[in-house]
Amino acid sequence: MMDRITARAVAVFVCGTLAMSPALSQTPVANPQAPPDRAPGVSYGTGFLGAYGPGSVSRTLFADSPRLRDLVRAGNLYLSVQDAIALALENNLDIELERYGVREANTDTLRAKGGGGLRGIPLSVNETPAGIGGPGSPLVTTAATGVTPQTTVPVNVTDQQLTVETQGNLGVTGTFPFAGGPLIPQYDPAITGTFLAQHATTPEVNALFTGAQALVQNNYSSNAGYVQGFGTGTTIAAGFTNLYSSQNGIRNIFNPYDATSLGITITQPLLRGFGIKMNRRFIRIAKNSERISDYVFEQQVISTVYGVVRLYDDLVSLEEDLNVKRETLATAQQLYEDNRNKVEQGTLAPVELTRAEAQVAAARQDLINSDGYAREQELILKNVLSRGFWADPALRDARIVPTDPLVLEPLPSQTTAELEQMAIRNRPELQAANLQVTNAEINIEGTRNELKPQLDLVGNMSDAGLAGALNSAYIGAAGAPLPSPGAYLGLNGGYGTALGQIFLRDYPTYSIGLNLTLPVRNRIAQADMARDELQLRQSQVRTKQVENQIRVEVEDALIAVQRSRAAYEAAVEARKLQEQSLEIEQERFNVGLSTNFLVIQYQSYVAQARSTEVASLDAYAKAKLQLERATGTTLPDYNVSLPEAFRGQVTRVSSPKIPTGVNPATAAPTTTNPPPPPPQLAPSQQPPQR
């Protein structure tokens, strides 16, 4: 009998050891030949042994998608708006970060289905850097007044505020957790098992009980249990115990003997913790959190797409402003050449040549500044569109050539009320806020249930078995008759006899009762209830703030669109008038009716008017972009698919869009001006060597 029990215990131990071994768990192994997927993958072990394996989470790919390298031609990165958006969806690390947030929400649901608590989901969203064209833009935006514009020198060599990201948060429930309510039953069943072999020698102070000076026992126990909870709050616990014992006592009727029992206990809450809705509240919250994480991911995609298009538009404006600075420098150089010829002919005073040369130097300085601004903007845009372009020298040194010009789009046709309703329907942060309020209300259901007394209905049913051999050394107490063998025929046997008694239910035991726990003052539960209701009201207030802020953003963006459109039209008209004024002043100068100083002044007016026109068009484009974001139409307006964004694999194939005048075979500029190298100073303007 001892050998059989020991063998069973060793088998249980070996199976448990194998189950805990990760190497033998049925964890899916990734195929090394499978194409890389940029979306994080999470797999769990399957089967009985697989439940004890760690599963797997795919590694992050830090290599850029092939699309980025394919857009490089002859040292230039020819980039359209759609290409920039596709690169951001594939490579941007902010989007990659939020992909893991979606997966984390899925793990919370799995945890809740097993009866565990929730660990929460991330609600942060990163905004792309402001860039050179953002707040504090160096583009000339002041009006063309009668004062002669002066060249500017950037005193701050770099402004890191324009290159770093900012972070927002979509949470409205605050940082303090809710009380939680009654404990959730463990829905995943648990099996327990123990085996114990014991040899014990105990000196006896009274030989009446054992008949020996020292009691020597050899005990072998093997027990198993099963526990599982259910959605109603019910908990079922079953236990199966086995004991084999032999000893040198003379008072036991059986020696050795097998004692075994099988019992089941059912506990059902009747007040606190009762009901399927109450006990599955974490699952409901987790499923809502999955939807919230989807909205957070959508908000991150919107923020990134908005930021990429904004950075792209600013780069186009900076390039246009750079062209204006080149034209201004060419005009100043032409005036310098004309004045030099006149000075050599003796028809113009030498001081006018000095003034023209000073104008050339100032225009050259503005050109150097504008070129530096454009290069800084390219650096910021590259960082947003890639995961590590520094690793590829061709990408690191490539100049970005934006191929989509800014377009003067029409004003929106919808009314303010219609745009606000569109925003209320579309904005993901408002949808996420409403779901957070819903989760807070579900949490309060548990907190309210905690106010009830604890009343449990407990039922137990068990059966026992006992079998063994009559103790040949048995000596009864004084006056007690010796046991008759015929009186113990049903108990005379081994382990099988004891099991038979259990299944035949020879010795049943039943019980049913109530367990009551009644808090006298219940101040903890009352305080938790009041606190959670206060936090719920705060969440509702924050959600209303989000809605009001959305309405303000829509109206503000609409005003900005209207204002920037009018400003652009005024800038175009001002530029035309300044050009006409320059032509008139140039003609007067040619016939000797004006001075060189006035011509230079009007040239500065024209240069400033052209830069103002460029900046005004950029401001209008960004105002339209902000209105799209305020109304929640950014993604459909740019044909962005959220499933593609999550996979990080944009299916549309885009060949490099090369501007007119560039030979597609070599992608080398032929008739148009490519991005020039940094402007070189004249020998007289070179800085001294250190």
Six-digit token pair at 60? Answer: 């992050």
* Dihedral sign (CA 15, 18, 19, 24): negative
- Asked if 213 and 141 touch (Cβ cutoff 8 Å), the reply is no
pLDDT at 665: 42
Six-digit token pair at 623? Answer: 């105002």
Enumerate the β-bridge partners of residue 116. none
- Asked if 363 and 681 touch (Cβ cutoff 8 Å), the reply is no
Six-digit token pair at 552? Answer: 């303000």
Q: What size, in residues, is the chain?
A: 690
DSSP count for the chain of H helices, then E strands: 17, 15
Rounded-to-integer distance, Cα 50 and Cα 115, Å: 19
- Asked if 420 and 555 touch (Cβ cutoff 8 Å), the reply is yes
pLDDT at 486: 59
Q: Which residue has the tokens 């893991």?
A: 100
Six-digit token pair at 459? Answer: 């039922």
Give 429: exposed, middle or buried? Use CB within 10 Å, 0-12, 13-18, 19+.
Answer: buried
- Asked if 244 and 1 touch (Cβ cutoff 8 Å), the reply is yes
Which residues of the chain fall below pLDDT 70?
1-37, 134-161, 207-211, 476-489, 652-690
pLDDT at 351: 86
Rounded-to-integer distance, Cα 623 and Cα 629, Å: 10
Nearest to 1 by CA among 216, 210, 192, 255: 255
Q: Which residue has the tokens 């236990």?
A: 239
Cis peptide before 256 (omega within 30 of 0): yes
pLDDT at 258: 92
Six-digit token pair at 355? Answer: 């003034």
pLDDT at 253: 80
pLDDT at 290: 95
Cβ count near 48 (within 10 Å): 11
Six-digit token pair at 617? Answer: 């068009």
Enumerate the β-bridge partners of residue 203. 214
pLDDT at 636: 93
Helix extents (H) in 346-427: 350-385, 393-397, 416-426
- Asked if 220 and 197 touch (Cβ cutoff 8 Å), the reply is yes
CATH assignment of 60-120+281-443+530-663, given 3.30.379.10, 1.20.1600.10, 3.30.1330.60, 3.40.50.300?
1.20.1600.10
* pLDDT tens digits, one per residue of 93-102: 999 999 999 9
Rounded-to-integer distance, Cα 247 and Cα 445, Å: 58
Q: Which residue has the tokens 């929460």?
A: 120
- Beta 235-247 vs 254-269: how paired, if at all? antiparallel
pLDDT at 36: 55
pLDDT at 389: 85
Rounded-to-integer distance, Cα 60 and Cα 41, Å: 10
pLDDT at 144: 36
Cβ count near 169 (within 10 Å): 12
Rounded-to-integer distance, Cα 318 and Cα 130, Å: 14
